[in-house]
Amino acid sequence: MLIAGNWKMYNGPAETAEFCLGLREQELEGVDVVVCPPFVSLAAAVQLLAGTEIAVAAQNVHWDDEGAFTGEVSAGMLRELGVYGTIVGHSERRQYFGETDETVSKRVHAALEAGLFVIACVGETEQERAAGETEAVLRRQLAVLEPDDNLVLAYEPVWAIGTGHTSTPEHAQEASAFIKSQVEAPVIYGGSVKPGNAAELLAQPDVDGALVGGASLELESFTAICRAAIRS
């Protein structure tokens, strides 16, 4: 069971240090825990979580080793910093920054080639869901990905991200099972995961963990979700 906290554009180095010092003290055996801070906070997280089983991952990575790509960071740079993995293709990257299935594929491939662990995100919008296009959208997004020992897929229905609207456990299970039928890889669920709904979501047979957004910013709520994963 994997629980990854996506901090998005929150928690600078000082806040990251405080969080990681607290996280070190938690008893979380029995669950794989990952924190995904902003780029500027990765070094602090790596340093303070060194010697623990808690991994640090970035929120994005470029597909080239180096070059004139202002604002981007390469897989080699992340590896040099001591980062374990990266998120790729989050819906906010697709929605606000022009990420496409093609660029997701290139980023995933480069990260895996460099030895990083990858959480690749897929999911439908509210309009696509209403039109009954969930499986078609997932099939298209997954078509550019191939199984890899270091690849995990995150099902994140866009209509449930940051909205407070959570997918029902039944829908999370159905979508996760479909994703596994397309690409052989573990599937975690992302979309308004909270301590109050984590246990039911994580109890689904094809849900292998959670990609947690807002609830990962507070140590108490994040560790509560981790403990729900341990019990599931």
Long-range contacts of 129-135 (CB under 8 A, 24+ apart): 129/157, 129/159, 134/175, 135/178
Q: Would you kindly state where each structural domain of the chain is located, as residue ranges?
A: 2-218
Burial class (CB in 10 A: 0-12, 13-18, 19+), 149: exposed
pTM above 0.85, yes or no: yes
- Per-residue pLDDT, averaged over 163-179, amounts to 88
171 is catalytic: no
- Check 92, 99, 124, 156 and give the catalytic one: 156
Degrees, nearest 5: CA angle 190-194-196: 135
Q: What are phi and psi of 66, to 5 degrees?
A: -165, 170
- Give the tokens for residue 13: 């180095």
Q: For helices 134-142 and 101-113, what crossing angle results, to 10°?
A: 40
Active-site residue, from 15, 72, 90, 174: 90
What pLDDT, in 10s, does the model give residues 54-93?
999 999 999 999 999 999 999 999 999 999 999 999 999 9
Average pLDDT over residues 194-210: 97
Q: Which CATH class is domain 2-218?
A: alpha beta
User: Tens digits of per-residue pLDDT, 111-146?
Assistant: 999 999 999 999 998 889 889 999 999 999 999 999
Q: Is there a catalytic annotation at residue 156?
A: yes
Estimate to the nearest angstrom the gap between the alpha carbon of 28 and the chain centroid: 19
